[in-house]
Amino acid sequence: MSDINITVIDREGVSHKLAAPTDMNMNLMEVCKSYDLPVEGVCGGMAMCASCQVYVHTDKHFGERNDDEEAMLDEAYHVKSNSRLGCQIPISTELDGAEFELAPEES
């Protein structure tokens, strides 16, 4: 098995420990959805909405925001310096032990 473990804090402050496979080409948005966490992923993972915005609570290095993601976050709300779009974070071994928090819904 090539599962990793991550922690996702939902909008009520409840912490969820999630096991996620690294060999299924998944991203953080999809993992959250597969656990029925309230992540919409409206655009399906194209960095074209910000409904999967998360705050990264960990200093593990797993890549930077890409251009599409930056441009989308420029127009999103509740954006902080540690904001990322979950759909742009691939599940990889570097993420093992990382913690994320769901950003508030837009409205």
Partner 1 sequence: MIKTDIVIIGAGPVGLFAVFEAGLMKLHCHLIDAIPQAGGQLSEIYPKKPIYDIPGYPTVLAGELVDKLMEQAAPFKPGFTLGERAETIDELPNGNFVVTTSQGTKHEAPVVMIAGGLGSFEPRKPIIENLSDFEQNGVNYIVKDPDQYQGKEMVISGGGDSALDWAVYFAEKNGLVHLVHRSDRFRAHKDSVAKAYELEEQGKLKLYTFAEVKQLEGKQQLEKVIIETKDGTVPIETALWFPLFGLSPKLGPIADWGLEIEKNAIVVDTFDYQTNRSGVFAIGDVNTYPGKLKLILCGFHEATLAVQSAYKRINPDKKFTLKYTTVQGVQGFD
Encoding tokens for residue 76? 């999103």
For partner 1, the closer CB: 3 or 70: 70
Alpha-carbon gap, residue 79 to 35, rounded angstroms:
24
CB of 52 to partner 1, least distance (A): 13
Residue selected from 48, 57, 83, 94 as contacting partner 1 according to rule CB under 8 A: 48
Amino acid in position 87: C
Q: Is 37 near partner 1 (CB under 8 A)?
A: no
CB of 73 to partner 1, least distance (A): 9
Q: Is 25 near partner 1 (CB under 8 A)?
A: no
Q: Is 64 near partner 1 (CB under 8 A)?
A: no
Alpha-carbon gap, residue 4 to 75, rounded angstroms:
32
Encoding tokens for residue 48? 């074209």
Which distant-in-sequence residues (6+ apart) come within 8 Å of 5 by Cβ? Answer: 17, 18, 19, 20, 96, 97
Residues that bind partner 1 (CB under 8 A): 42-43, 46, 48-49, 51, 67-68, 70-72, 74-75, 77, 106-107
